[in-house]
Amino acid sequence: MTSVVRRRVYGFGFACVLTALGQVAVYLFMLAVSVRQEYEDVQVASTSGIMAALTGVYAWLTGRLMFLLYERRHGEITCLEWVWWLCSIVVILFNLLLCVWFGLLSDTLPTTVSAVAASLYTLFFKFAKDDIKQMGIDEAAKSDKREYIE
């Protein structure tokens, strides 16, 4: 794997972690506002709480995945990959739904933020998925080479 590909994956991964942490802060703010007595919206509060937790888990999983990619520990990645994959899909879909929702409300700033987040998450998902696949191929080739030598 070339270093350009790895830098691209790390760049998108770092941007995704920062974006996810920013979104967690916004979801927590929305949660705090929606539980106030004068506003009190259970639907917004529950959605904000769930998405804050899920996006926080996504940020942690992405950070862990980047660490394992850096350390080239493919055996541990395979255990983590399906959870990260599922969490990525849910976070991407929710951001796309936010794009539609805020787009219908003609609210450009949240629409743009959700669109950028969904794009970043999707690009990182694609590049990291390819990187993990290539790591598995490289590891299988190394083990085959070791068996052939022995």
Q: Quick one: residue 106, left, alpha or beta (phi over 0 = left, psi -120 to 50 = alpha)?
A: left
d(CA 87, CA 59): 10
Q: Residues 57-109: pLDDT tens digits?
A: 999 988 888 887 777 777 777 777 788 888 889 999 999 998 898 888 887 88
Residues in the chain: 150
* Identity of residue 110: P
d(CA 55, CA 91): 7
pLDDT band at 146 (very low <50, low <70, confident <90, very high): low
CA angle (145 as vertex; 150, 3 as ends), nearest 5: 145
Neighbours of 83 (CB within 10 A): 14
Of 16, 3, 22, 2, nearest in space to 126 by CA: 16
The model's pTM is 0.80
Domain boundaries, the chain: 3-140
